[in-house]
Amino acid sequence: DAGVIQSPRHEVTEMGQEVTLRCKPISGHDYLFWYRQTMMRGLELLIYFNNNVPIDDSGMPEDRFSAKMPNASFSTLKIQPSEPRDSAVYFCASSLSAEQSYGYTFGSGTRLTVV
Partner 1 sequence: QKEVEQDPGPLSVPEGAIVSLNCTYSNSAFQYFMWYRQYSRKGPELLMYTYSSGNKEDGRFTAQVDKSSKYISLFIRDSQPSDSATYLCAMSSMDSNYQLIWGAGTKLIIKP
Interface contacts to partner 1, rule CB under 8 A: 4, 42-43, 45, 48, 56, 91, 93, 98-101, 103-109
Q: How far is the CB of 34 from partner 1 (least distance, A)?
A: 12
Name which of 82 and 110 has its Cβ closer to partner 1. Answer: 110
Q: With contact defined as beta carbons under 8 Å apart, do 114 and 13 qualify?
A: yes
Q: With contact defined as beta carbons under 8 Å apart, do 62 and 49 qualify?
A: no
Q: How far is the CB of 69 from partner 1 (least distance, A)?
A: 17
Name which of 17 and 38 has its Cβ closer to partner 1. Answer: 38
Burial class of residue 85, CB neighbours in 10 A (0-12, 13-18, 19+): exposed
Name which of 4 and 77 has its Cβ closer to partner 1. Answer: 4
Euclidean distance between CA atoms 86 and 56, whole angstroms: 20
